[in-house]
Amino acid sequence: MLKKLLALLCAIAASPVLVADEADVRKAMEERLGTKVESVAKAGYLGLYEVYADGNIFYTDEKVSAIMVGGQLIDGRSMKNVTEERLRKLTAIRFADLPFERAIKIVRGDGKRVLAIFEDPNCGYCKRLAKELLKLDNVTIHIFLYPILSEDSVRKSKQIWCAADRAKAWREWMVEGKAPAGREDCDTSAVTRNQEYGRRLNISGTPTLFFADGERVPGALPLARIEQKLAQTP
C-alpha cells in the first residue's frame, strides 16, 4: 500500500492549500491520499503534523504543501525514533480482543506472562524466534498461524492445525525441522480467518508480536527485549 501511495503522491500536483487546523489537515490529506485518515496530531517537531492512514505515518506542514512518505522522524537530542514509537502506540490493540480460540496455546511454568505471535510456518525469522522462545519460562504463548508467504505455508498451517497435538506439531517443525505430514482436511477455517483478521490489523510480515498491553512489535525481537517487555507489562 505504501508504494501505491508514494506513486500516487508523485503524480499529484503539489499545489498548496490553505489549512487552519487538524480537521482541515485531515480533509486535505484524505483528498491527497485517496484514503481514510485515522488520526491527525501535531508531531512536535518543525511544525509538522503526524497523519496516520493505512497503517502508515505521514508528515506534512500546516498547508499540506509537502508530504513526507516512508520517512523516519528522529529526535535530534535523544536520537529516539519518534516514528517507530508512535507507530507502536497507534497500532496497539486490546490484547483481550484477540481471537485466542484460533491460536495454538503453549504454556510454560505458571503461564502468568502472556504473549501472542502471528507466524508463517515457512518464515525463517519465525523459526529463529521459536528456538529462542524455548528459553522463556512462566509464560503463555498464543501462536496464530498466519500463512502469507506461499501456498506451502497454507498447507503446512492446515496440517499443524489438524494435528492431535498442535503445540507439538508446531515445535517439531519450527524447532526440529520435522515437517508436518498429517491430514489437512479438518476444520481449518481458523487459518483462513486468521489471514483475514491479520489483514484487518495491517500485519504485513511475520513474526508480529503482541504483548499484554496491546503493543505490537514486528520482527524477531531479541529474547532479552522480550523478557524486558514481559517484565514491564502488568
Residue numbers in the chain where pLDDT is lower than 70: 1-20, 234
User: What pLDDT is attached to residue 70?
Assistant: 83
User: What pLDDT is attached to residue 19?
Assistant: 53
What is the spatial distance between Cα 116 and Cα 105, in angstroms, rounded to a whole number? 9
Delineate the domains of the chain, giving CATH numbers in brackets: 2-90 (3.10.450.70), 95-232 (3.40.30.10)
Alpha helices, H only, 14-165: 22-33, 82-90, 124-133, 151-162
User: What pLDDT is attached to residue 91?
Assistant: 85
The identity of residue 32, as a single letter, is: R
User: What pLDDT is attached to residue 13?
Assistant: 39
The identity of residue 185, as a single letter, is: D
Q: What is the pTM of this model?
A: 0.78
What is the spatial distance between Cα 17 and Cα 186, in angstroms, rounded to a whole number? 57
Which residue in the block uniquely carries the three cell numbers 489483514? 199
The identity of residue 80, as a single letter, is: K
- Is the CB of residue 37 less than 8 Å from the CB of residue 24? no
User: What pLDDT is attached to residue 2?
Assistant: 53
109 alpha-carbon distance from chain centroid: 27
- Is the CB of residue 205 less than 8 Å from the CB of residue 129? no
User: What pLDDT is attached to residue 55?
Assistant: 83
What is the spatial distance between Cα 144 and Cα 190, in angstroms, rounded to a whole number? 9
- Is the CB of residue 158 less than 8 Å from the CB of residue 195? no
User: What pLDDT is attached to residue 11?
Assistant: 44
Strands (E), the chain: 39-42, 49-53, 56-60, 67-69, 104-108, 113-119, 139-145, 208-211, 216-218
Query: Among 113, 115, 116, which Cα is nearest to 138's?
Result: 113
| 30, 66, 73, 119 from 170: Cα distances, Å | 43, 48, 39, 11
Cis before 207? omega within 30: yes
